[in-house]
Structure 1
Amino acid sequence: MKVLQTPVRFYPFIGGVEQYVYYISKELAKYDDCDVTVICANEPNNVSKEQYNDINIIRLKYFGKIANTNITLSLPNVLYNEDFDIIHTHIPTPWSSDWSNIITRIKNKPLVVTYHNDIIGTGVANTIANIYNKTALKFLLNKADKIIITQDDYIQSPHLQNYKDKIVTIPNGVDTTLFKPQNTKRQKHQIFFLSVLDKFHKYKGLDYLLRALVNVKVTIPDIKLIVGGKGELLEYYQEKVEEMGLKDNVEFKGFLEDEEVINYYATSELFILPSISSLQEGFGIVVLEALACQTPVISTNIVGVADDVINTNSGIIVPPKDVDALADAIIEILSNPELREKMGYAGRKLVQEKYEWKKIAHEIHSLYEELL
C-alpha cells in the first residue's frame, strides 16, 4: 500500500503533530507492504526530496503562513500527480488537510484524518477559525473514511458529534528504545519543560509554571527549570523571568536535538506540562517521553494520558491554571526521593505496556488494510 502523510511540517520541525507523523511513518515503513511518503512544507529544511528512516519526504516551498499553517502553492499539483492508495492527514492543519480531502475525492481514494485538537484562535484568528469549522472542516470530516482521535474524551468536541460512527480512538505513543533511562545522575531539584515557544503554544502553560516557580523557590531556593524550545515568544519569557526574580532559576536552551531532549528527561528529577486548554491540547506526547525515561511527571487533567498517570501513580495531575496546586505538587515530588523513584518505575512500565509506537502503528496499519 502506498500511503501519503500530509502534515503541514515534518521532522526535524518539533511539534506534537510532527512527532506523531514521524513515529507512525517510521514504524509503518518497516512493513514489507507499506510505502510511506510525507509531503510537507520545507520548514526548517530546504532539501526538496530526501529519504530518512525509509520515509520518503517531499518538502515544498511555502509562501508565508496563515495562522500556524504554511501555504504551499504547489501542494495540489504534487498530491494529484502522486501515485497513492490512501492519504492520512491531520487536524488542526488546514490547507494540507483540505487539499488532501479534495484530491482523494477527485481520485476516489480513502482518506484518514487524525483529529489532534480543535482549531481555535483569538481575535480575528478566532473569527477565521469559526468560519473554517463551519465550512471546510465539515467538508473534510464528511469525506473522511475514518477519523482517529488520540483520547476518548475528544469525542465530546462539538465538531465531531455527527461523525461518531467513523471515529476510532488510537492513542499517541513513544519509542521506548530511544526514550529510556540513561546512565547519568539526576540533577538535584532540576525540572524540565519542553514546547515550541510561540503564541500558538501558550496553551502549554509556561506562564503558569513560572508563577508556580516563584512559590516553589520559597521552599526550594535552588530550584532549576530547564526550558527547551524556541519561538517568537522566547524574549517575552526571558523578560518575564527577569521581572519575577527567577533569573538564577531558569535556563532557556533553545531548540534541542533528540539526544539533548532525552538527556534532559533523564537528568531532571521531574518533567512538567501544565497545559491549560482542552480545546488545543490534543494529547501531550512529551509526557509519554518523560515517563519512558523513568522521570515523574506533573501535568493537568486535560492531557490524554492523565488518567493513566493517576492510576499508575507515575506523577501528579493538577487542575489547569491552578498555580498553588502546581507549586505544591512540585515541592511534594522534589522533596521525596523514594516517591520519585517509585513514580519513575511506574511510568516506564506504563508506556511499555500501553504506548509503544510499534503497537500504535500496527493499529493504524490494520485500519488502512480495512479501508483498502
Structure 2
Amino acid sequence: MKIIHVHHHYWPVIGGLENAVKALAEEQARLGHEVHVVASTYGAANRPREEVINGVHVHRVKAIRLAGYPDLTYPLEYPDIIRNADIVHGHSQNSLFTMKMLEHAKRHSVKTAMHFMAVDALNDHPNPLVKLIGSKYSSKMTRKALKEFDIYMVRSLRDKELLTSKYGANADNIYYVPDGISNELLNTEYLGDQFRESRNITSDYVLYIGRLHPLKGIEYLIRAMRIVNNEVKDSLLIIIGPGDQRPYIDLTNKLGIRDRVLFLGYVSDREKIGALDASTALVLPSISNYVEVYPMVISEAWARQKPVIATTVGGIPYRVKNMENGILVPPRDVKALANAIITILTDKELARKLGARGRVNIKSWNEIAREALKLYEK
C-alpha cells in the first residue's frame, strides 16, 4: 500500500504530534508498506527537500506561514506523489497545510483520512484574541473536514465526544486511534538506579516532563511543592523539557525552595526512562485544553508503571481516572495539587497500584499502525 502522511512539520522538528507522525510512518514502513510524509520546509534547517529517513520518504514543500502560527502554514506546491497514493492520511484539521493537501488529494480521487485533534480546544485559551478568532477558525475547519474526507480518526475520546455531540458526526464512523508507545519504553530494563547515581539524587521525587510553557501550569506545580516540602521533608520536584527556565528558577528562589526543584532541560530518551523509573509519580499540571489533546507523557509514565497526577483539562480525564490509574485535580488549584503529591509520596503501595493499572491502557506503535492499516483497507 502507498501511504502518505501529511502535517506542516516533520523531523527534525520535535513535538508531540511530530513525534507521533514519525513513529506511525516508520512503523508502517517496517510492516512493508511504501510510506511517504509530506511536510513544509519550516523547521527543517538544512535538511534536503527530499530524503529517506528510517524507510520513510520525506518530501518538504515550499510554504508560507500566516501571522507566525504553525497551524496557518499554507502550501505553495503539491508533490506529484499524492495523485497515485492509496491513502493520504492527514494529521490535525486545525492545520491549514494538512487541509489543503487533503483537498488536493480529493480532487484527484484519492482516498483521504483525517486524524482530528484539539477539537474546540481554543475555547478556554487565556489570550482573548486567540480564543475568539482561533476558536472560530478551528470550528470552521472541523466542519469542513467532516464534510469532505473519507475516514475520520481521533486521538482523544474527548474529540470523539465533541464531534458527535456538537458537530453531529455519526459515532460509528469516528474511529479512536490513539498514539502508541515505543518498544524502548515498554521493554527497556530498569534504569532508575543509573539515573539517581548520575544525577546524585537520593530523595523521593515527582517528575514533570514537557515544554516549559505558561499553559503547562508549571508555576502552579512549583507553588504546590512549597506546601509539599512542609509536609514531606527532603522531597524533590524534577523538571525535564525544553524552554526558558529563568522565570521558574526566579519563582523557586522567591518561594525559598530553589534546592528542592531540579531543572534538567532536554535529556536523551534513555535518561528520560531512568528519570521515570526512579520517580514516585509523573505530574501534569496543565491549565488549558489546547495543550493536552492526548499527552504522550501519560503513556510514557504508564509504560514504566508510574502513576499520574494531572489536571482535568483536554483529553486527560478521558484517560486518567481518579484513584484508578492516577489522581485528578482541578487546574490552577495549588492546594489540591499539593495534597495529591503528598498522598502519592507518603503511600508507596497506592503509587504502585495506580501505576500498574495504567500500564494496561497503552498500546505499542506496532498495534496502532496495524489498526490504521485496517481502516485504510476498510
Class of the TM-score when normalised by the shorter of the 2 chains? 0.7 to 0.9
CA distance in 1, matches of 2:181, 2:170: 27
Alignment of 1:121-160 (within 5 A): 121=125, 122-157=127-162
Match of 2:179 in 1: 172
SS across alignment from 2:114: strand
- 1:226 is paired with a residue whose SS is strand
Distance 1:315 1:131, change over 3 A: closer
Counterpart Cα distance in 1 of 2:63 and 2:212: 21
Contact 1:25 1:55 (8 Å CA) reproduced? yes
Deviation per CA, 1:51-105: give whole Å up to 9, x if none.
33322223456666645407666x3414455452322122264222222233123
Q: Is the 8 A contact 1:275 1:299 kept in 2?
A: yes
Unpaired runs of 5+ residues, structure 1, are: none
Say which of 284, 293, 298 aligns to 2:295. Answer: 284
Match of 1:204 among 213, 216, 222: 216
* Sequence identity (%): 27
The residue type paired with residue 261 of structure 1 is K
Q: Are the aligned partners of 1:181 and 1:294 in contact in 2 as well (CA < 8 Å)?
A: no
User: 2 CA distance for matches of 1:170 and 1:263?
Assistant: 28
Secondary structure of the 2:207 match is strand
1:304-319 → structure 2 map (5 Å cutoff): 304=315, 306=317, 309-310=320-321, 313-319=324-330
1:132-182 CA deviation, whole Å, 9 max, x = no partner?
235444323321212212233323337952333532222222124434452
* 2:344 counterpart of 1:369: no
Q: What is the TM-score when the length of structure 2 is the normalising length?
A: 0.83
Instruction: Give the conservation status (yes or no) of the 8 Å contact 1:174–1:288.
Output: yes
Q: Equivalent residue for 1:295?
A: 306
Write the distance in 2 (CA, Å) between the matches of 1:38 and 1:178. Answer: 28
Deviations 1:218-257 (A, max 9, x none): 11242222222223x5333333233232321222222233
* Change beyond 3 A, Cα 1:91–1:72: closer
Q: 1:184 aligns with which of 178, 183, 192?
A: 192
SS of equivalent to 2:168: helix
What letter matches 1:52 in structure 2? I
Provide the residue aligned with 1:110 in structure 2: 111
Q: What secondary structure, in the 3-state scheme, does the structure 2 residue paired with 1:173 have?
A: coil
Question: 1:361 corresponds to which letter in structure 2?
Answer: A
Q: Equivalent residue of 1:77, what SS?
A: coil
CA contact (8 A) 1:42 1:60 kept: no
Note closer, same or farther for the CA distance 1:184–1:359 as it changes in structure 2 (3 Å cut). same
The question of 1:259 aligning with 2:274 is answered no
What number of residue pairs does the alignment pair up?
362
Correspondence for 2:333: 322
What's the CA shift for 1:215?
1.0
Once the two structures are superposed, what CA deviation does each residue of 1:290-335 show, in whole Å capped at 9, x if it has no partner?
1111222212344646466438843322233332221111111112
Cα distance in 2 for partners of 1:176, 1:227 equals 24
Counterpart Cα distance in 2 of 1:307 and 1:99: 31
1:220 pairs, out of 232, 239, 248, with 232
Q: What SS class does the counterpart of residue 59 from structure 2 fall into?
A: strand
CA contact (8 A) 2:91 2:116 kept: yes
Partner secondary structure for residue 197 of structure 1: coil
CA pair 135-331 structure 1, distance change in 2 beyond 3 A: closer
CA–CA separation in structure 1 for the residues paired with 2:8 and 2:224: 34
SS in structure 1 of the partner of residue 91 of structure 2: strand
Conserved in 2, the CA contact under 8 Å of 1:229 and 1:254?
yes
* Aligned-partner Cα distance in 1 for 2:101–2:330: 37
Tell me which residue corresponds to 1:162. Answer: 168
Deviation at 1:42, TM superposition (A): 4.2
Opposite residue 58 of structure 1, the aligned amino acid is: H
RMSD: 2.9
Q: 1:230 to 1:308 in 2, by over 3 A?
A: closer
Partner-residue secondary structure (3-state), 1:147: strand
Structure 1 residues 14-93: aligned runs within 5 Å: 14-43=14-43, 45-48=45-48, 49-60=50-61, 66=67, 68-69=69-70, 75-80=75-80, 82=82, 83-91=84-92, 93=94
